[in-house]
Amino acid sequence: MKFEFSRRRMLGAVSGALAGLLSAPAARAAKATVQKVFASSGAPNGYDPYKHKWLMCFDVDKCIGCGLCVDACKTENHVPQASHYFRTWIERYIIKKPKPGSDRTRGEVLVDSPNGGRDGFPPTVVPREEILKSFFVPKLCNLCEASPCTQVCPVGATFDTPDGAVLVDPNYCIGCGFCIQACPYGCRFLNPETKTAEKCNLCYHRITRGLKPACVEICPTEARIFGDLKNPVVDDPIQAFIQKNKVFSLKPHLGTEPRVMYANLDKEVR
Partner 1 sequence: MGNKLNPVGGGGWLPAGLASNQEADHMSRFKMPPQIFRLVLLTIGIVVSYLIARQLLTPASFRDFGFYRGAALEEVASRTPVYAGKKACDECHSEVLLKLAKGDHKTVSCETCHGVSQEHAGNPDITPVKLTGSHCIRCHEANPSRPAWFHQITVKNHYTGQKCTECHVPHQPNEVP
By CB under 8 A, name the binding residues for partner 1: 4-7, 10, 28, 32, 36, 38-44, 47, 49, 61-68, 72, 75-76, 92-94, 120-121, 123-124, 128, 131, 134-136, 156-157, 159-162, 167, 169-172, 201, 203-206, 208-209, 211-212, 214, 217-222
The least CB distance from residue 136 to partner 1, in Å, is 6
The least CB distance from residue 50 to partner 1, in Å, is 8
With beta carbons less than 8 A apart as the criterion, state whether 108 and 117 touch.
no
Instruction: Give whichever of 124 and 191 is closer to partner 1, judged by the CB atom.
Output: 124
Angle at 153 between CA 149 and CA 159, to 5 degrees: 65
Instruction: Give whichever of 101 and 210 is closer to partner 1, judged by the CB atom.
Output: 210
The least CB distance from residue 66 to partner 1, in Å, is 5
Give the residue ranges of DSSP H helices in the chain.
Answer: 7-32, 68-77, 148-152, 178-182, 204-207, 214-218, 237-244
The least CB distance from residue 257 to partner 1, in Å, is 18
The least CB distance from residue 26 to partner 1, in Å, is 13
Tell which residue, 12, 16, 260, has the closest CA to residue 142: 260
With beta carbons less than 8 A apart as the criterion, state whether 241 and 259 touch.
no
**Count of helix runs (H) and strand runs (E) in the chain:** 7, 11
Instruction: Give whichever of 22 and 32 is closer to partner 1, judged by the CB atom.
Output: 32
Q: Taking the mean position of all CA atoms in its chain, how far away is CA 251?
A: 14
With beta carbons less than 8 A apart as the criterion, state whether 134 and 93 touch.
yes
Instruction: Give whichever of 111 and 252 is closer to partner 1, judged by the CB atom.
Output: 111
Classify the C-alpha dihedral 230-233-234-238 as positive or negative.
negative
Instruction: Give whichever of 247 and 254 is closer to partner 1, judged by the CB atom.
Output: 247
